[in-house]
Structure 1
Amino acid sequence: MKDRIRLVHVVWRLSVGGGIPQVSRQVLAGLDPERFDCHAIIARPAWEEDRLDELGAHVTVHALDHEGPTRPQDEIRLGLRIASRVRELRPDVLHAHSGTARLSLPAALGSPGMPRVLEVHEPLKDGLHSRLTNAIEVGMVKAAGFRPFAHSTHVRDATAAIVGWRPERIPLVPLGVPVHVPDPAAGLALRAELGIPREARVVVGVGRATQKNIPLMVRVGADVVRKLGDTGPPVMFLVIGRQEPEIQALIEELGVGDRVRVVPPLARLSDAFDAADLFLSTSHYEGFGLAVAEAMMAGVPVVGTAVGGVTDVVADGVTGRLLRAGDRGGLVMACRELLTDDALRARMGAASRERALSRFTRRHMLDGFARIYERAALRRRRG
């Protein structure tokens, strides 16, 4: 298109942490500034810790400076302020996110001809969000013209069933991770820092949220350590991320504190993948599975639960093993198999990297988002 597309994201906060803010930052900063004029309306203040200047000069952030808890009257006030700002900006595309999409509804109602898209992170049903939130968002799709798109076939198909559409009507845009060249030296340096022998087999898991099921990760690690015993190289399980005190207490209760360790967040998560021989995902649910894709990009095979978007990312039997959610015994068996079979682990690791490079790069993701916006803007210009 010859004219730049003015895009307005409505998002709660553009923090450097958290899945939705991180992806939004990557999209806003990564879109071609010759094709897109990017704006973000955030409910929270523009805090220094969020490093919004890193987004680039072509991204304008409009902070509404809401602090503290949010009451229903606060949401109404925020929605009206967002609508006012949207009227001033006159965007070609308004971008809302599931979970907080209701904040965009007054803006959409006040500008009937404005194209609007809804990024669906989780199926619009009872789960992470309230019934009221989900009901509003279903109505926004069915009656208020918000066109949904999803990052995994699971979310797409579930959303299609909820709103009564064919799945093909909902575009699929897989998320992407940076192209990472495996760096054995960085992995060895992290091992040395943590006191892990070079010859040890290292299993890495990442996360803190309840859906990650970190207690199961710890129990699987303890079972694998016990079953392998002293045969072969030592095995270490690293749980990366801040954890509740109960997790360390569980490790001590199981008596595996020397083999299962909680590691605080790293400046470079890629170092953990470079140090890893295997990635373990024990989640109850994943909308996509970014950490899984990052591990695969580093050439690390995956043992994980077949939930949500993970089934799109991992090719079972090719790039790792997938088990049903909560299958502790199956996860233990799969970890043992890959930790004791060097040839299989190397083959699946190479296949993991190849799959990540061909499907889940940041460039693939940005191209997918750009197509969503261009199609939406084209509908308006044709209209």
Structure 2
Amino acid sequence: MPGQTVATAGPGSALATRRIHVMELVGNAIVGGMECWVERLLQHLPRERFRITVVCPYEGRFSAAMRALGADVVCIPMPEDPAWSAAQLGQALARSTGVDLLHAHLPNAHALGGLVSRLTDLPLLCTIHGRQITLLDLEVHRAVRSHLSVVCRHSYLHALGVGVDRRRLSCEPNGVDTRCFHPGPRPLDGLRQQLGLDTVAPLVGFVGRLSPEKGPEQFLRAAALLSEGLPPGTRFVMVGEGPLRGALEADLARLGLGDRVRMAGQRDDMPTLYRELDVLVSCSHSEAMPLAVMEALASGVPVVGTRVGGMPEIVQHGVSGWLVAPRDIEDLAARIRQLLEAPARRQAMGAAARRDMVQRLDLRPSLDRVASLMQALARQAREPHRLEDVSVLGRA
């Protein structure tokens, strides 16, 4: 399913002789999937071809990471209904620094980008990280003719279904850094040791933000159903932070799971942490192409996940993991049990998962497509007479 964009800049183009200045408008600054995606994009973009300014709503860990990658960082408030002062700051920044392309992430950033685009006549690209196009994204797209880049086939079809202009829509699927995330020996001083867990007993993990759309309470309910008959020493761990942490801790006490389920909080050692897991569980109610799932699969960890959004594009049912219906706790628990009770099959699925991520969803080709799209849109704005020079850069 193709998305159309202008062909990349040729040797005679003005943009071929200087760096493209991209303003990344990032609508949040937490430690989440979208922010990780932006960070990996900046790591990947060639510095000889791209200059980056990042606009985010507040200072913190994310803004520090952006500066460490060589980006200029400016903080501008980004409510869903942007204030005129924010738009004025954005357009002044874009004009004074010679920005060529605006690139938004999340609907609030898309709205601000739309205003700045109208004030400056700069092209606007918005990457849709969720599985559906929001009403605000659709309104901005129609008002300023922004280009929408989605990350999975489900999102592409949804965008067409709600009336997004096919000529301003493309699919650049998410990818995973298979060099960073790969199978390996379990660390001697990692998560298990820090939590006082057995170094060889099975460990089932949930990795993600503790927020409603991720369904972390479903993980606890599945763990409660798996109270008997598992291999000796089996434990469950939740990695991440979020607004539901207090409620989840109360559920742990109410369900009597305190000795079997551990809350590990936010971690910085994810490449080695996945190697400590035997199964990853993704029980989200809504997803597009979740990074945690791809990272686990690339690390050789089979996944039991809900059949939502782009998950069927990632997990090969019965090959690299199992897919279950959303909120079907009994099936979720049964599939976890099936993997825990069959170590040989679990290992075979993990090996298949690794091969599949390397072959289909490696990060580098994915980000190459995004870079080509960014370069094409910037060139289109500078050379409007070449609007019909199009080529397919990505497929859903």
Amino acid at match of 2:352: A
Stretches of structure 2 that go unaligned for 5 or more consecutive residues are: 1-8, 10-15, 385-396
Please give the per-residue CA displacement for 1:52-78, whole angstroms capped at 9, x wherever unaligned: 465433x222334x4xx9595x62211
Q: How many angstroms does 1:220 deviate by?
A: 0.4
> SS at 2:83's partner residue?
helix
Compared CA separation, residues 201 and 368, structure 1 to 2 (3 A): same
Q: Who is 1:238 aligned against? A: 237
Q: Is the 8 A contact 1:187 1:274 kept in 2?
A: no
Of the structure 1 ranges 244-253 and 29-38, higher mean CA displacement relative to structure 2 is found in 244-253
Percentage of matched positions with identical amino acids: 25
The TM-score with structure 1 as length reference comes to: 0.86
Q: Which of 54, 57, 67 is the equivalent residue of 1:40?
A: 54
Q: Which of 75, 88, 93 is the equivalent residue of 1:63?
A: 75
Q: Who is 1:259 aligned against? A: 260
Compared CA separation, residues 198 and 264, structure 1 to 2 (3 A): same
Compared CA separation, residues 143 and 245, structure 1 to 2 (3 A): closer
Q: How many angstroms does 1:169 deviate by?
A: 4.2
Q: How many angstroms does 1:19 deviate by?
A: 2.4
> SS at 2:289's partner residue?
coil
Compared CA separation, residues 167 and 303, structure 1 to 2 (3 A): farther
Compared CA separation, residues 51 and 176, structure 1 to 2 (3 A): same
Where does 1:322-337 land on structure 2 (aligned, <5 Å)? 322-337=323-338
Q: Who is 2:112 aligned against? A: 103
Q: How many angstroms does 1:199 deviate by?
A: 3.5
Q: How many angstroms does 1:121 deviate by?
A: 2.0
Q: Who is 1:29 aligned against? A: 43
C-alpha distance in structure 1 between counterparts of 2:119 and 2:151, whole Å: 29
Q: How many angstroms does 1:346 deviate by?
A: 0.9
Please give the per-residue CA displacement for 1:111-136, whole angstroms capped at 9, x wherever unaligned: 33x322111123555xxxxxxxx444
> SS at 1:143's partner residue?
helix
Of the structure 1 ranges 292-301 and 354-363, higher mean CA displacement relative to structure 2 is found in 354-363
Where does 1:271-282 land on structure 2 (aligned, <5 Å)? 271-282=272-283
Stretches of structure 1 that go unaligned for 5 or more consecutive residues are: 126-133
Q: How many angstroms does 1:333 deviate by?
A: 1.2
Q: Who is 2:340 aligned against? A: 339
Please give the per-residue CA displacement for 1:221-273, whole angstroms capped at 9, x wherever unaligned: 121233x25xx433111111235222122222222322222222223123331
C-alpha distance in structure 1 between counterparts of 2:200 and 2:68, whole Å: 41
Q: Who is 2:24 aligned against? A: 9
Q: Who is 1:130 aligned against? A: none
Q: Is the 8 A contact 2:80 2:111 kept in 1?
A: no
Compared CA separation, residues 294 and 333, structure 1 to 2 (3 A): same
Structure 2 residue 152 is matched with structure 1 residue 137: no
Where does 1:180-219 land on structure 2 (aligned, <5 Å)? 180-186=181-187, 189-207=190-208, 208-219=210-221
Structure 2 residue 100 is matched with structure 1 residue 85: no
C-alpha distance in structure 1 between counterparts of 2:143 and 2:264, whole Å: 47
* RMSD of Structure 2 on Structure 1 (CA): 2.5
Amino acid at match of 1:78: A
C-alpha distance in structure 2 between counterparts of 1:82 and 1:124, whole Å: 27
C-alpha distance in structure 2 between counterparts of 1:213 and 1:177, whole Å: 25
Q: Is the 8 A contact 1:156 1:167 kept in 2?
A: no
> SS at 2:55's partner residue?
strand
C-alpha distance in structure 2 between counterparts of 1:155 and 1:53, whole Å: 27
Compared CA separation, residues 342 and 322, structure 1 to 2 (3 A): same
> SS at 1:185's partner residue?
coil
Amino acid at match of 1:162: V
> SS at 2:144's partner residue?
coil
C-alpha distance in structure 1 between counterparts of 2:280 and 2:189, whole Å: 17
Q: How many angstroms does 1:312 deviate by?
A: 1.7
Of the structure 1 ranges 340-349 and 361-370, higher mean CA displacement relative to structure 2 is found in 361-370
Q: Who is 1:128 aligned against? A: none
How many residues align? The count is 364
Compared CA separation, residues 166 and 49, structure 1 to 2 (3 A): closer
Q: Is the 8 A contact 1:38 1:60 kept in 2?
A: yes
Q: Who is 1:291 aligned against? A: 292
Of the structure 1 ranges 151-160 and 176-185, higher mean CA displacement relative to structure 2 is found in 176-185
Q: Which of 64, 75, 82 is the equivalent residue of 1:51?
A: 64
The TM-score with structure 2 as length reference comes to: 0.84
Q: Who is 2:225 aligned against? A: 223
C-alpha distance in structure 2 between counterparts of 1:360 and 1:187, whole Å: 30
Structure 2 residue 120 is matched with structure 1 residue 121: no
Compared CA separation, residues 182 and 209, structure 1 to 2 (3 A): same
Q: How many angstroms does 1:350 deviate by?
A: 0.4
Structure 2 residue 353 is matched with structure 1 residue 352: yes
